[in-house]
């Protein structure tokens, strides 16, 4: 996230791309980009096109949504949504990322995912997860680039247009959960430095403990 500050090319002094938190005014642009992803049949099991009103319901005041803009137009979005209703999972969110067709393969996905990760950390989330079709090379590469781990493959997870599809589960720890894991693995490699089996492993949950949690919405895969 760069706070909406545009970056400039040295050569043309043109705004290249900027990212910011989405607002309900972005719902129509987000729906248009999401519907391209649905039509492509390469990103999601969803087949029903979404309306701007459908997208408005994504804004729950808890889970961040970010957009990327170029020349004042929204060209990509990345969104989070509740993972489960159980309180213990309040800091875990599902995510999805979609770039408008004509802007793919130009680094936009990476920028918007980095913005989403920053926004999710600011919101107090401790993990993002999703699933990608095993054939979705662009998504798998992008997610590896921004620090996601491939957990494993769900075989025949659902059918798209009548055909069974396998999906790769991906996850990325955020904020204190990520740095805590790195510290604990360092300590585990130094047996005299403490960090034994009784060391608490759970991050402090500060997110979503006193608010009504929204229903989980599956917009990714």
Ligand X SMILES: CC(C)(COP(=O)(O)OP(=O)(O)OC[C@H]1O[C@@H](n2cnc3c(N)ncnc32)[C@H](O)[C@@H]1OP(=O)(O)O)[C@@H](O)C(=O)NCCC(=O)NCCS
Contact footprint for ligand X (CB under 6 A): 37, 40, 42-43, 96-99, 104-110, 130, 132, 136-139, 141-142, 145, 220-221
DSSP SS3 for 148: coil
Q: 28 vs 146, which CB is nearer to ligand X?
A: 146
**Least distance in Å: CB of 98 to ligand X?**
5
**Least distance in Å: CB of 187 to ligand X?**
32
What is the rounded end-to-end Cα distance, in angstroms, of the chain?
24
Q: 208 vs 219, which CB is nearer to ligand X?
A: 219
**Least distance in Å: CB of 110 to ligand X?**
4
Of 220, 219, 211, the closest CA to residue 87 belongs to: 211
**Least distance in Å: CB of 32 to ligand X?**
13
Computed on alpha carbons and rounded to an integer, the radius of gyration of the chain in Å comes to 18
With beta carbons less than 8 A apart as the criterion, state whether 113 and 97 touch: yes
Evaluated on CA atoms 8, 10, 14, 16, the torsion sign reads negative
Q: 82 vs 129, which CB is nearer to ligand X?
A: 129
The residue number with the shortest CB distance to ligand X is 109
**Least distance in Å: CB of 149 to ligand X?**
15
The Cα 112–Cα 119 span in angstroms is: 10
The Cα 22–Cα 75 span in angstroms is: 12
The Cα 194–Cα 188 span in angstroms is: 8
Q: 56 vs 169, which CB is nearer to ligand X?
A: 169
Beta-sheet pairing, 65-70 with 18-21: antiparallel
Q: 109 vs 124, which CB is nearer to ligand X?
A: 109
**Least distance in Å: CB of 179 to ligand X?**
24
Evaluated on CA atoms 63, 68, 69, 75, the torsion sign reads negative
Q: 213 vs 218, which CB is nearer to ligand X?
A: 218
Distance of CA 83 to the CA centre of its chain: 12
């Amino acid at each position: 996230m760069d706070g909406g500050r545009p970056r400039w090319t040295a050569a043309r002094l043109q705004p290249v791309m900027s990212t910011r938190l989405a607002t309900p005014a972005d719902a129509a642009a987000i729906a248009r980009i999401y519907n391209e992803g649905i039509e492509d049949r390469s990103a999601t099991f969803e087949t029903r096109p979404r309306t701007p009103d459908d997208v408005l319901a994504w804004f729950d005041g808890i889970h961040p949504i970010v957009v990327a803009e170029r020349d004042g137009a929204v060209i990509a979005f990345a969104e989070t949504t509740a993972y489960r209703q159980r309180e213990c999972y309040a800091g875990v969110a599902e995510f999805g990322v979609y770039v408008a067709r004509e802007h793919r393969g130009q680094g936009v996905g990476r920028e918007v995912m980095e913005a989403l990760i920053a926004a999710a950390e600011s919101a107090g989330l401790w993990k993002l997860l999703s699933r990608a079709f095993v054939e979705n090379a662009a998504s798998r590469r992008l997610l590896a680039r921004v620090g996601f781990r491939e957990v494993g493959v769900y075989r025949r997870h659902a059918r798209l247009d009548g055909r069974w599809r396998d999906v790769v589960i991906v996850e990325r720890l955020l904020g204190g959960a990520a740095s805590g894991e790195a510290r604990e693995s360092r300590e585990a490699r130094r047996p005299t430095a403490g960090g034994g089996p009784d060391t608490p492993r759970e991050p402090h949950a500060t997110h979503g403990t006193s608010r009504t949690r929204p229903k989980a919405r599956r917009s990714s895969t």
